Amino acid sequence: MGNGTSNATSGPDGSDSDDGDVAGTTRTTRTTQTAQTTRHSTRVPMSADIVRFVGIGVATGVLVALAAYVTNRAQMVSAVPSWLPFAVGFLGGAYVQVLSRDLGESVRAFLVALVVGTACYLVAALAPLWILPYEPTVRDLLIRSILREEIANLVFASLIPQLFVGYLAAVVVDGTFRS
């Protein structure tokens, strides 16, 4: 044993039994690999987790962006009460927490919703500049003006307050009832 040789034998069940360090290391490695395989096989693959939180974030972001856009343009939809789009945006922020499995997934989905919602809102606000026939110089001037106004609406009046307040309210309520 002290000369570096190992007396490894195979047992009746196919497992290795040994008297030396080399075979013991092999057995430990096999046991570790089996434990890691067992641990990973019970979890959802990483790509499914990514698809889940991105899907939640995109759906919620589009919902909140549409609600914020209608909130800021209540004159376009006169048949709908003015508080309804704001309530839908508020609930959109809560959906992020409700649809997520845990807080980590919820935060990732919230960030995706914030980015997607902001992008959809700004694209909807700037789309008429490319749909309607404007001169390029007039379009450039209007882009700056519209972006300034829409970003102020976005931050202070519609999308971000709706999304943040709804999400934080859902996190607080969820944390209160789970503990």
Instruction: Please determine, for residue 15, whether its predicted confidence score (pLDDT) is greater than 60.
Output: no
CA distance 47 to 52: 9
Same domain, 37 and 58: no
Same domain, 87 and 135: yes
Same domain, 16 and 70: no
Reported as a single tens digit per residue, the pLDDT across 54-95 is: 999 999 999 999 999 998 888 888 888 989 999 999 999 999
Instruction: Please determine, for residue 118, whether its predicted confidence score (pLDDT) is greater than 80.
Output: yes
Same domain, 75 and 132: yes
Mean pLDDT across the stretch 26-45?
A: 53
Same domain, 77 and 27: no
Instruction: Please determine, for residue 31, whether its predicted confidence score (pLDDT) is greater than 80.
Output: no
CA distance 95 to 61: 10
Mean pLDDT across the stretch 46-56?
A: 93
Instruction: Please determine, for residue 43, whether its predicted confidence score (pLDDT) is greater than 70.
Output: no
Same domain, 31 and 67: no
Mean pLDDT of the chain: 83
Question: Quick one: what percent of the chain has pLDDT higher than 90?
Answer: 61
Same domain, 82 and 169: yes
pLDDT of residue 23: 52
pTM, entire model: 0.72
Instruction: Please determine, for residue 176, whether its predicted confidence score (pLDDT) is greater than 70.
Output: yes
Same domain, 37 and 51: no
CA distance 30 to 106: 36
Same domain, 54 and 35: no
Range(s) of the domain holding residue 76: 47-178
Mean pLDDT across the stretch 13-18?
A: 51
Same domain, 84 and 154: yes
Instruction: Please determine, for residue 18, whether its predicted confidence score (pLDDT) is greater than 90.
Output: no
Same domain, 22 and 51: no
Same domain, 24 and 92: no
Burial 67-78 (b: 16+ CB within 10 A, else e): bbbbbbeeeeee
